[in-house]
Amino acid sequence: MSASVHQQEAAFRACIAEAAKRGGRLMERLVEQALQSLPQRASLANDSHERTGLHVAMRQLQQFRSVLCDSFGQALLSEFSQAVTGADASQGPRSLSFDALELMGDDQVQERIERVRAQQAAQQAVEAELGVLNALVCAARGLKTVQADRNPLRPEIYVRALGAAIAATGAPADVRLRWMQHLGEALGPELARVYADLSQLLRGQGVEAAGFNVIHAPVPVAQGRPTGMAQPHPRAAPETLLTVAQLRRLLSGGFDDMDGAAEAGPAGRSEPRQHPEFSPTVPAAFEALQEMKQVNQVMQRLADRRSVTSAGATEATGLREQLRKQARGTGQALGLEVVGLMVDTIANDPRLLGEVQQTVRDLEPALLRLALIDPRFFSDKQHPARRLLDQFTGRSMAWSSAGAAGFAAFLDPAKQAVQALLTTRIEGAEPFAFALQSLENLWDEHARRERRQREKAVQALLQAEQRNLLAEKISRDLRQRAETAGAPRGIVYFVAGPWAQVIAHARLTDPQGRADPQGYEDVVTDLLWSAMPEVASSNLPRLTRLIPGLLAKLREGLERIGFSRSKSGRFFEELMALHARASKTGAASAPAPLDARAQLEAQFREADQAGLWLAPAEAQDSGFMETQPPQSVVPHPLFEATQPGFRDTLIEPDDTAVPALAQHDTVSPVAELTPGAWVELRMDSGWIRTQLTWASPHGTLFMFSNADGVNHSMTHQSIERLAASGNLKVLSNQAVVAGALDAVAEAALRNSVDITL
Which ranges of 348-488 would DSSP assign to H, the alpha helix?
354-373, 376-379, 384-396, 407-423, 430-485
pLDDT tens by residue, 622-631: 888 876 554 4
What per-residue string of b and e applies to 744-755 under the rule 16 or more CB within 10 Å gives b? bbbbbbbbbeee
Stretch among 17-21, 272-276, 665-669, 747-751 having the lowest mean pLDDT: 272-276
Looking at residue 166, its pLDDT comes to 93
Looking at residue 574, its pLDDT comes to 83
Stretch among 30-34, 233-237, 579-583 having the lowest mean pLDDT: 233-237
pLDDT tens by residue, 360-384: 999 999 999 898 888 888 888 899 9
User: What single letter denotes the amino acid at residue 357?
Assistant: Q
Looking at residue 191, its pLDDT comes to 95
Looking at residue 611, its pLDDT comes to 56
pLDDT tens by residue, 135-151: 999 999 988 888 888 89
Tell whether the model's pLDDT for residue 302 goes beyond 90. no
Looking at residue 157, its pLDDT comes to 93
Tell whether the model's pLDDT for residue 344 goes beyond 80. yes
CA 85/CA 91 separation, integer angstroms: 13
Mean pLDDT value across residues 117-122: 90
Task: Determine contact, residues 12/137, Cβ cutoff 8 Å.
Answer: yes
Looking at residue 631, its pLDDT comes to 45
Alpha-carbon distance values, 72 to 85, 158, 166 (Å)? 20, 9, 8
Top mean pLDDT of 47-51, 96-100, 139-143, 352-356 is at 352-356
What angle, 0 to 180 degrees and rounded to 10, lies between the N-to-C axes of helices 736-751 and 244-252? 130
* 396: number of Cβ within 10 Å: 22
pLDDT tens by residue, 693-710: 888 888 888 888 887 778
pLDDT band (50, 70, 90) for residue 60: very high
Tell whether the model's pLDDT for residue 534 goes beyond 50. yes
pLDDT band (50, 70, 90) for residue 292: very low
3-state secondary structure 109-166: HHHHHHHHHHHHHHHHHCHHHHHHHHHHHHHHCCCCECCHHHCCCCHHHHHHHHHHHH
* 280: number of Cβ within 10 Å: 10
Query: Helices (H) and strands (E) in the chain — how many of each?
Result: 30, 7
Looking at residue 29, its pLDDT comes to 95
Mean pLDDT value across residues 429-451: 83
Tell whether the model's pLDDT for residue 269 goes beyond 60. no
Top mean pLDDT of 136-150, 258-272, 276-290, 474-488 is at 136-150
Looking at residue 552, its pLDDT comes to 93
Tell whether the model's pLDDT for residue 275 goes beyond 50. no
Looking at residue 435, its pLDDT comes to 93
- In terms of pLDDT, which residue wins out, 755 or 225? 755
Tell whether the model's pLDDT for residue 387 goes beyond 90. yes
pLDDT band (50, 70, 90) for residue 94: very low
CA angle 615, 617, 622 (to 5 degrees): 95
pLDDT band (50, 70, 90) for residue 216: very low
Mean pLDDT value across residues 732-754: 83
pLDDT tens by residue, 151-169: 999 999 999 999 999 999 9
Looking at residue 754, its pLDDT comes to 63
Provide the residue ranges of all domains of the chain, joining segments of one domain with +: 3-212, 244-257+282-428, 453-650, 664-734
CA 398 to chain centre: 17
Which residues, at least 6 apart from 752, have a Cβ–Cβ distance to it below 8 Å? 113, 243, 244, 245
Mean pLDDT value across residues 66-74: 91
* 154: number of Cβ within 10 Å: 22
Give the whole-number percent of the chain exceeding pLDDT 70. 74
CA 682/CA 712 separation, integer angstroms: 12
Tell whether the model's pLDDT for residue 257 goes beyond 70. no
User: What single letter denotes the amino acid at residue 495?
Assistant: V
Tell whether the model's pLDDT for residue 65 goes beyond 50. yes
The CATH number given to 664-734 is 2.30.30.140
Stretch among 195-199, 466-470, 725-729, 751-755 having the lowest mean pLDDT: 751-755
Looking at residue 613, its pLDDT comes to 80
Which ranges of 64-97 would DSSP assign to H, the alpha helix?
65-85
pLDDT band (50, 70, 90) for residue 610: very low
pLDDT tens by residue, 561-590: 988 887 888 888 888 888 888 887 533 444
pLDDT band (50, 70, 90) for residue 484: low
Tell whether the model's pLDDT for residue 337 goes beyond 80. yes
Query: Which strand ranges, in their side-by-side order, compose the sheet holding 728-732?
Result: 711-715, 701-706, 686-695, 678-683, 728-732
Looking at residue 306, its pLDDT comes to 40
Q: Give the pTM.
A: 0.64
Stretch among 71-85, 102-116, 598-612 having the lowest mean pLDDT: 598-612
Element spanning 280, H or E: none
- In terms of pLDDT, which residue wins out, 444 or 496? 496
Mean pLDDT value across residues 61-80: 92
- In terms of pLDDT, which residue wins out, 664 or 442? 442
Looking at residue 745, its pLDDT comes to 86
CA angle 161, 166, 170 (to 5 degrees): 140
Averaged pLDDT score across all residues of the chain: 77
Stretch among 188-202, 361-375, 728-742 having the lowest mean pLDDT: 728-742
Name the β-bridge partners of 263. 271
* DSSP category for residue 262: E
Stretch among 33-42, 59-68, 161-170, 678-687 having the lowest mean pLDDT: 678-687
Looking at residue 720, its pLDDT comes to 84
pLDDT band (50, 70, 90) for residue 357: very high
